[in-house]
Amino acid sequence: MVQPVAAYGSDVRPVSFGAPVTLPPWTGQVGVGRVEVTQAEPQTAQAIVSTLTAHGVDAVAVTAPSGTAQAVILTEGLSAADPAARHWAALAHARTARTPGARILLLQSTAPQAHAAISGLPGLSRTLQKEWPDTSVATWSFAAPDAPTRAHHILTALGTTLGDAIITADGHASQTHVGASLAPPVTNAATAPAIWLVTGGARGVTATCAIELARRTGGTFLLAGRSALSRWPQGIARTADLKTLRASLAHNAVASGQKVKPADIDRAARAALAGQEIEATLSALAAAGAAAHYVQLDLSDTAALAPAIDSIQGQHGAITGLVHGAGVLADKLAMEKTEAEVRKVFGPKVDGLLALLGAINISQLTHIGLFSSASALFGNTGQADYAMANECLNQLARQLSAELPHARVKSYNWGPWDGGMVDAGLAAHFAQQGIALIDQADGARIFADQLLDGDRAIVELLVGDEWSGE
Ligand SMILES: NC(=O)c1ccc[n+]([C@@H]2O[C@H](COP(=O)([O-])OP(=O)(O)OC[C@H]3O[C@@H](n4cnc5c(N)ncnc54)[C@H](OP(=O)(O)O)[C@@H]3O)[C@@H](O)[C@H]2O)c1
């Protein structure tokens, strides 16, 4: 008898683009006022200014917004700068352009392009829509690769109130659409890859997901993270609580007559807890029937990744499954954020992934699972950089899925989990907004089900509640 599959505890929904709608032709009657266009991508900027001027709009190319224009078009998302620099420049220029009632339009491309050129600016516009209610901010993503066509599409869209959208090569607009809840698929682990690289997989919620994957597929798991596999300090009782461990370490230091600074105690305690967590993940993977290895690797150190991957593949064979869970937060309002904070967030999540994709023979990958966030889809106050970086993952997943027709590629826009980077303070914040936390076992099941057996055509998923933010 076939057993019915239990429904998921959290909602799992496909994210796609809605039906394209026709934009009304430019009538010339819309009072758009003065339009400034930044020259980060000069060809598109010039084409926009020429097209708008030819149609009677007061448009001018600028190196930076003046802060007085009614509409500002930012071409930073189309520039050839590295991803963090490009996204930081868009954020910085949006700040300069901000004035009550202003309209800020962020441009980027969805045409097939080099992986490093992919942008996540919808993460910025969605966040700014929450942080700056007095300003209209939208991202227009162009499928047309050439500047004159993009300029023509801008002219048309400018006469509308179009928000975040993809503008197709023939000038239609399509907006993000979250579909109906998915039922769990019938599971069939026979297609599992042999060698998984799981970034961030030794700790946090990615570890929970890796353990579930190992239960289904066995094989070899290579877990990468920054932390050292530190030993537990001698003579100290095991605990998972930072405060308790700090107190024990301090007590031992005093008892043995050592003078140790509180900062050193804190560092030692965190290192011991990280080592303990890594050990526990390795043991759980082994218990699940997989061969498990830990590789100490900082994904932000992109120059070190290619030699590290060469060495890993030399020892274990070609990587056939990639799970990318490494990520950090640097939350702060967009008006206060610094370039260093944007780089900190982009380092492991975007730069690290791009470097890995460059170092691995991606044609051998049969499964790719990327840990994105619902903040990319909905924006989130204080998380402009994190939302942009996660939206880069969503866009990259779509392109990888198109490039690798034999592979299953999933980008999970996770809502908040009950664990990982969601500490007690964040959990209370989400509870206040009525957003349920994703249960660890449920999240891990969703992850493995969808990566191994989900519909290949569904690349982007929302897991958890929809939210509107503050
Ligand atoms: N938890 C949630 O509610 C939630 C929601 C949405 C999305 N996500 C995403 O899910 C992923 C895991 O989150 P989490 O909650 O488990 O966070 P976490 O507990 O803070 O774990 C982050 C993981 O990333 C690794 N990492 C961070 N920086 C790294 C670097 N430079 N190089 C290599 N590894 C690095 C960490 O290991 P080391 O510290 O040892 O380097 C750790 O394994 C993240 O990408 C996050 O954005 C989480």
- For the domain covering 189-226+297-463, report its CATH number: 3.40.50.720
Query: What is the distance between the alpha carbons of residues 11 and 271, in angstroms, rounded to a whole number?
Result: 35
With a threshold of 0.95, does the pTM exceed it? yes
**Nearest-angstrom CA–CA distance, 405 and 270:** 42
Residue 278: exposure state from Cβ atoms within 10 A (0-12, 13-18, ≥19): buried
Angle at 436 between CA 284 and CA 132, to 5 degrees: 120
Residue nearest (by alpha carbon) to ligand 1 atom 46:
327
pLDDT score for 14? 98
The ligand 1 atom nearest the CA atom of 390: 47
- Which residue's C-alpha comes closest to atom 44 of ligand 1? 327
Ligand 1 centroid to residue 130 C-alpha, Å: 25
Ligand 1 pocket residue status of 325, Cβ below 6 Å: yes
CA angle 416, 273, 448 (to 5 degrees): 40
Whole-number Å distance between alpha carbons of 213 and 59? 54
Residues ≥6 apart with Cβ < 8 Å to 405: none
Take atom 41 of ligand 1 and give the residue whose Cα is closest.
226
Closest atom of ligand 1 relative to the 372 alpha carbon: 7
Closest ligand 1 atom to 300 CA: 31
pLDDT computed for residue 191 by the predictor? 59
pLDDT at 466: 84
User: How far is 417 from 308, CA to CA, in rounded Å?
Assistant: 31
Q: How far is the CA of 227 from the centre of ligand 1 (A)?
A: 12
Local mean pLDDT, 10-residue blocks, the chain (470 residues)? 75 96 82 92 98 95 97 97 98 97 96 95 98 97 96 94 96 96 82 86 98 95 97 94 95 90 96 98 97 98 97 97 97 98 98 98 97 97 97 98 97 95 88 92 97 96 79
What residue owns the CA closest to ligand 1's atom 36? 200
Spatial strand order in the sheet of 460-463: 176-178, 12-17, 460-463, 408-414, 367-373, 321-324, 195-199, 220-225, 291-296
Q: Is 298 in the pocket of ligand 1 (CB under 6 A)?
A: yes
Nearest Cα residue to atom 24 of ligand 1: 326
C-beta 429 within 6 A of ligand 1:
no
The two tokens of residue 156 are 């048309």
* Same fold yes or no, 19-174 and 189-226+297-463: yes
Does 421 sit in the ligand 1 pocket, CB within 6 Å?
yes
| Cα 327 to ligand 1 centroid, rounded to whole Å | 4
pLDDT of residue 288: 95
CB of 417 closer than 6 angstroms to any ligand 1 atom:
yes
- Where do the domains of the chain lie? 19-174, 189-226+297-463
Is the beta carbon of 420 within 6 A of some atom in ligand 1?
Answer: yes
Atom 21, ligand 1: which residue's CA is nearest? 204
Q: Decide whether any atom of ligand 1 lies within 6 Å of the 226 Cβ.
A: yes
Q: Is the CB of 371 inside a 6 Å radius of any atom of ligand 1?
A: yes
Atom of ligand 1 nearest to the CA of 204: 16
In this predicted structure, what is the pLDDT of residue 29? 60
Q: What is the CATH number of domain 19-174?
A: 3.40.50.720
Residue nearest to atom 23 of ligand 1 (CA): 200
Ligand 1 atom closest to Cα of residue 426:
3
Judge if the beta carbon of residue 326 lies within 6 A of ligand 1.
Answer: yes
Q: Is 246 in the pocket of ligand 1 (CB under 6 A)?
A: no
How far, in Å, is the centroid of ligand 1 from the Cα of 202?
Answer: 10
